Amino acid sequence: MNETMELFLAILKAALGQTAFSGHISQSQWPALISMATMHKVLPLFYEAVYHASAPAELKSSVRQQVIAQTMRTADFLELNRHLQAAGLRPLVVKGIVCRELYPQPDHRPSGDEDLWIRPEQFALCHQLFTEFGMHTAVSGEDLSESFEVPYRKAGSLLYIELHKHLFPPESLAYGDLNRFFVQAQDRAIPLQIQGHTIYTLEYTDHLFYLICHAFKHFLHSGFGIRQVCDIILFANAYGNRVNWQQLWENCQAIRAEVFAAAIFRIGSQYLTFDPQKAGYPQAWQEISVDVLPMLEDLLCAGVYGSANMSRQHSSTITLDAVAAQKQGKKGKLSVVGSLFPAASKLENLYPYLKKRPYLLPIAWCSRLWKYIFRRRRKEDDNAADALKIGKERIELMRLYGILK
């Protein structure tokens, strides 16, 4: 872990602990730190701890804009929530505003969207109510009824909603089976008071497990950023005494994520503000032997949701194939052919015509490869060799944490 990473984590810890960063930041260190905070979508949070430390003047303006934008999104979301509840619909809010409220200044933790989860049979009513509220979506027809997740925007607003019929895409061979843990979660939903509004969300154990699963899903793709670690540890600090840790442990074991989760909590206690005693974190889990540095370096390089660069994002084809192969009783391994020529089911989101005409898969392959080659000519961060290298390294990382055998 390099000096910039260490300094960035120390600043983030100060922000989470509501203290000013007391260390020294040289003028030459600012650009790399700001770049890392931007890549992880925590720039306002980062600024809370360093605004007094001769931070560049332009940083304040950027932070102010982001906070104002988030405040507007939050206000519009709470109004949408009120509109839905007035019509008798109570979708469950996951992540988003529930996590933001755990931070010292909630709107300093940006959320590009809000995630709502409804029962599939409630979708028609919810779509109608969204439309009445001025929300619109680019999805239509058969895709509207079949998609596990439908995105909505509001005209003249920054509000962006992802409406889920399932918490995870059921068709995913790598992690679609995570939905089995939440079959009855709607029945265990709880109310929370946020800014004078009642929202409904997952019960505490369900929600903490969902946050871990969400990070796990992105880890299987191209990585997850430090913000997800912050969400998990702040949730555990706030609600850990209401969490059934034994159930959480068993759930994590069932998906081969117990060491993965232990690494997240260890990162939280060593580098951030996770308090095992306050959270009621079990001693047995604390005693797991785990080397957190490989995961920490990976997630810091990954950026939020593993989006640091296109080569890293393209490496997800390799890692997802390895996880899916293991679940099918095969050996998870690096597959160059599978990366270049994936199955039709993996390309349906990019090429919707494959849903009805899978025999057009060769055309999709050609189109995908052409776009990839053309994009490489313009982007330095999009390289097939780099994607394969990252994929191979991340498969070994998954073996280190017991996800792959």
The predicted pLDDT at position 330 comes to: 65
Containing H/E element for 300?
helix 293-302
Q: Are 181 and 251 in contact (CB under 8 A)?
A: yes
Backbone angles phi, psi at 161, to 5 degrees: -120, 135
| 235 found inside a domain | no
Q: How far apart are CA 9 and CA 171, in angstroms?
A: 37
Residues 385 and 338 in one domain: yes
Q: How far apart are CA 330 and CA 49, in angstroms?
A: 48
The predicted pLDDT at position 139 comes to: 80
| 317 found inside a domain | yes
Choosing from 202, 224, 240, the residue where a domain stops is 202
Residues 84 and 182 in one domain: yes
**CA nearest to 334, candidates 387, 395, 397:** 395
Residues 153 and 123 in one domain: yes
In this structure, how many other beta carbons lie within 10 angstroms of the beta carbon of residue 286? 12
State the Cα angle at 200 between 198 and 206, rounded to 5°: 145
The predicted pLDDT at position 332 comes to: 46
Task: Please list, in sequence order, all residues whose beta carbon lies within 8 angstroms of the beta carbon of residue 237, skipping any fewer than 6 positions away.
Answer: 102, 273, 274, 275, 278, 279
- CATH number of the domain within which 101 lies: 3.30.460
Can you give the residue range of the structural domain that contains 360? Answer: 309-400
The predicted pLDDT at position 311 comes to: 84
| 267 found inside a domain | no
Residues 93 and 163 in one domain: yes
Q: Which residue has the tokens 């989760």?
A: 261
Residues 102 and 20 in one domain: no
Residues 92 and 34 in one domain: no
Amino acid at 232: I
Residues 98 and 21 in one domain: no
Tokens read off for 149: 């997740």
pTM for the structure as a whole: 0.89
Q: How far apart are CA 244 and CA 208, in angstroms?
A: 10
| 103 found inside a domain | yes
| 288 found inside a domain | no
The predicted pLDDT at position 7 comes to: 96
Residues 77 and 198 in one domain: yes
CA 193, chain centre distance (Å): 24
Residues 195 and 318 in one domain: no
Tell me the DSSP string of 108-120. GS--S-EEEE--G
Number of domains the chain contains: 3
| 162 found inside a domain | yes
Residues 157 and 95 in one domain: yes
| 142 found inside a domain | yes
The predicted pLDDT at position 30 comes to: 94
| 368 found inside a domain | yes
Q: Are 41 and 228 in contact (CB under 8 A)?
A: no
Residues 388 and 363 in one domain: yes
Choosing from 55, 84, 101, the residue where a domain stops is 55
Q: pLDDT (tens digit, 0 to 9) for every residue of the chain, 405 residues total?
A: 899 999 999 999 999 999 999 999 999 999 999 999 999 999 999 999 998 878 888 899 999 999 999 999 999 999 999 999 999 999 999 999 999 999 999 999 999 999 999 999 999 999 999 999 999 998 877 678 788 899 999 999 999 999 999 999 998 999 999 999 999 999 999 999 999 999 999 999 999 999 999 999 999 999 999 999 999 999 999 999 999 999 999 999 999 999 999 999 999 999 999 999 999 999 989 999 999 999 999 999 999 988 878 888 888 888 988 898 888 876 544 455 555 566 666 666 566 666 666 766 776 656 655 555 555 544 555 567 788 889 999 999 999 999 998
How far from 104 is each of 13, 77, 128, CA to CA, in Å? 12, 20, 36
Q: Are 80 and 113 in contact (CB under 8 A)?
A: no
Q: Which residue has the tokens 């609600």?
A: 239
Task: Please list, in sequence order, all residues whose beta carbon lies within 8 angstroms of the beta carbon of residue 400, skipping any fewer than 6 positions away.
Answer: 291, 294
The predicted pLDDT at position 67 comes to: 96
Residues 197 and 86 in one domain: yes
Choosing from 202, 232, 261, the residue where a domain stops is 202
Q: How far apart are CA 150 and CA 146, in angstroms?
A: 9
Backbone angles phi, psi at 152, to 5 degrees: -135, 145
- Exposed, middle or buried by CB within 10 Å (0-12, 13-18, 19+), for 376? middle
The predicted pLDDT at position 377 comes to: 47
